[in-house]
Amino acid sequence: MSSFPDFEVRRYHKLDLAADMLIDADSRLRKPATPLDYVTVILLAGAVANIIIPLLKEAGVKPAREIFANLTNMFEGRPADAEKVDPRDFLFAYNSLKHAGGGGRGKASGDLVVEMCLYSEAMSIMQDTILDASQLPVTDSDRARFRDCLQHLIESDLYSLD
C-alpha cells in the first residue's frame, strides 16, 4: 500500500509520464469540475507536446504545429517580407499560463492578465498534441507502450479532425 507523499527517488520514463499526463488531461477536459481543469489540461498537454515535438523532429516528422503554421502562412498569402505565423504561436496559451514577462511580453508585473477561452484552448492543444502523439514513430518498446496507452485517445471522436 502506498502513501503520499512518497519521498523515494525513482526513475521514470518521460513517455510513460507523458501518457499518464494526457490521460489525466483528457479526463479533466471531458468532465471539468471548475475552469481550473481547463488550465490544467493546457499545462499538461503543453508539457507533453514539449516532450513529443523534439522526438518527432529527430525522426524527420513535422509536428502538427509546424504544418498548421505553414498552411496558415500559405493560405493567408502573406508577402515574403511580412511576419509569418510561427509554430510556437500554437502554444501561446500554454506559454502564457506558465510564464510572466520575458519573451517579448515585457515586465512580469505587466504580464499577469491573459485573455482566452480556456475550453477552446484546452481542446486545441489536446487535439494538436494527440495528433503529434499519433505520428510518433514506434521504434522501441517505450514508444510502443506510449502508443498503446494513448490509442483510445488517438481514436477518440472528441479529438478527431474529421
**What SS3 class is residue 159?**
helix
pLDDT interval class at 52 (50, 70, 90): very high
Q: Is residue 8 part of a domain?
A: no
pLDDT interval class at 1 (50, 70, 90): low
| Domain count within the chain | 1
d(CA 16, CA 142): 8
Report residue 117 as a C-alpha cell.
477561452
d(CA 156, CA 91): 22
Q: Is residue 47 part of a domain?
A: yes
Domain span at residue 73 reads 14-93+119-159
Which residue in this structure is represented by grid cell 514506434? 138
Is the per-residue pLDDT at 26 higher than 90?
yes
Q: Is residue 36 part of a domain?
A: yes
Q: Is residue 27 part of a domain?
A: yes
Higher-confidence residue of 1 and 154: namely: 154
Q: Are 48 and 24 in contact (CB under 8 A)?
A: no
What is the pTM assigned to this prediction? 0.85
Please name the residue ranges forming H helices in 59-154.
Answer: 64-75, 92-98, 118-135, 141-154
Q: What is the pLDDT of residues 74-113, one digit of tens each?
A: 777 766 667 776 667 777 888 888 888 776 778 888 888 8
Q: Is residue 152 part of a domain?
A: yes
Which residue in this structure is represented by grid cell 502562412? 73
- Among 91, 85, 76, CA closest to 128: 91
